[in-house]
Amino acid sequence: MTLLEITSESHGVVLDIAYATPRNFTGKPVYARPACYLHADAAARLRAAADLANPLGLRLKIFDAFRPSEAQWVLWNFRPDPEFLADPRKGSPHSRGVAVDLTLIDRNGDELDMGTAFDAFTPLSHHANRTIPATAQRHRFLLLGLMSAAGWDFYGNEWWHYQLFEPRKYPVLGDDALDGPMMPLAVG
């Protein structure tokens, strides 16, 4: 199966691949390079969501998409929390190329307030949390509406996570599914 590279030019999105930086819950880069890939089915739905956001003066900002199974193990070994991370033995929708972590940005490139940061592993990150400010709730529902209208399913514990319906029908893939590796080379 071929994964498609998602770029700003191909999909009209902004890429800020968090796991290629220390700005993630591990505090260090997990990926050796900031790349964004999706299965063709997911790439088409991402394009549809971007097209729906554009007339509203909004763009999608991508934090993560395809996550090699090796990276899922790194995250799980750091924090084995099934409320926020898929057990790599079962396979993550990210490792199948059919999930994306994202937010909305305005015309100036500023992120809309979603009530928490990406990867904030607390109940405040749940889609239906009503203790966050009303503005953040509206922004979450706006993102939910755009993504749902484009054919995405959501994960209730993470406002930023969307995936295709029936993700398990897609195979789990590793770093070797890419033309060039995303994971750091092992030091030997």
Residue 10 structure tokens: 């191909």
Counting every residue written for the chain, the total comes to 188
Q: Determine which one of 5, 9, 158, 166 is catalytic.
A: 158
Residue 125 and residue 157 in contact, taking contact as beta carbons nearer than 8 Å: yes
Active site residue 70: no
Closest CA to 37 of 14, 80, 68, 79: 68
For 61, list phi and psi in degrees, rounded to 5.
-115, 120
Closest CA to 71 of 187, 170, 173, 179: 173
What CA–CA distance (Å, rounded) separates 55 from 100? 21
Q: Check residue 84 and report its DSSP letter.
A: T
Query: Within 13 A of 36's CA, how many CA atoms are on the CB side?
Result: 25
CA separation for the pair 172, 30 (Å, rounded): 18
Q: Residue 69 CB: number of other CB atoms within 10 A?
A: 19
Query: Mind telling me the catalytic residues?
Result: 158
